[in-house]
Amino acid sequence: MTPGNLSDAAEFLLLGLSEGPELQPLLSGLFLPLHLVTVAGNLLVILAIVSDSHLHTPMYFFLSNLSFVDICFTTTTIPKVLANTQTQRKSISYAGCLTWICFVLTFAGLENGILAMMAYDRFVAICHPLKCTAIMSPTLCELLVLWSFLFGVLDALLHTLMALRLSFCTDLEIPHFFCELAHVLELACSDILISNILVYVVTSLLGVVPLSGIVFSYTRIISSVLKMPSAGGKYKAFSICGSHIIVFSLFYGTGFGVYLSSAATHSSRNSAVASVMYTVVTPLVNPFICSLRNKDMIGALRKLISRIFSFH
- Statement: residue 200 has pLDDT above 70: yes
Confidence of residue 1 (pLDDT cuts 50, 70, 90): very low
pLDDT at 244 (0 to 100): 83
* Mean pLDDT for all residues in the chain: 81
Strand order in the sheet with 91-93: 91-93, 11-14, 173-174
First and final CA of the chain: distance in angstroms? 63
Residue 90 CA to residue 82 CA, distance in Å, equals 11
- Statement: residue 71 has pLDDT above 80: yes
Q: Of the spans 192-196, 213-217, 294-298, 304-308, which averages the highest pLDDT?
A: 213-217
Q: Would residue 18 be called left, alpha or beta, if left means φ above 0 and alpha means ψ between -120 and 50 degrees?
A: beta
Mean pLDDT, range 303-309, rounded to an integer = 83
Residue 230 CA to residue 215 CA, distance in Å, equals 25
Residue 60 CA to residue 65 CA, distance in Å, equals 8
Kindly report which listed range (11-15, 25-29, 137-141, 187-191) carries the lowest average pLDDT score.
25-29
Q: What are phi and psi of 260, to 5 degrees?
A: -70, -40
**Continuous H helices in 18-130:** 24-51, 58-87, 94-127
pTM summary value: 0.86
Confidence of residue 23 (pLDDT cuts 50, 70, 90): low
Question: Residue type at 193?
Answer: L
Q: What is the pLDDT of residues 208-247, one digit of tens each?
A: 888 888 999 999 988 888 887 877 777 777 777 888 888 8
Q: What is the pLDDT of residues 217-226, one digit of tens each?
A: 999 988 888 8
Residue 203 CA to residue 201 CA, distance in Å, equals 5
pLDDT at 96 (0 to 100): 87
CA 4 remoteness from chain centre: 33
Residue 176 CA to residue 151 CA, distance in Å, equals 26
Confidence of residue 272 (pLDDT cuts 50, 70, 90): low
pLDDT at 271 (0 to 100): 64
Residue 237 CA to residue 47 CA, distance in Å, equals 24
CATH for 11-310 is 1.20.1070.10
Q: Which residue has the higher pLDDT, 274 or 122?
A: 122
Question: Residue type at 307?
Answer: R
Look at residue 92 and give its three-state secondary structure. Answer: strand
Domain boundaries, the chain: 11-310
pLDDT at 20 (0 to 100): 57
Mean pLDDT, range 129-136, rounded to an integer = 88
Number of other CB atoms surrounding residue 34 within 10 Å:
17
Contact call for residues 111 and 74 (beta carbons, < 8 A): no
Confidence of residue 24 (pLDDT cuts 50, 70, 90): low
pLDDT at 41 (0 to 100): 92
pLDDT at 261 (0 to 100): 55
Confidence of residue 5 (pLDDT cuts 50, 70, 90): very low
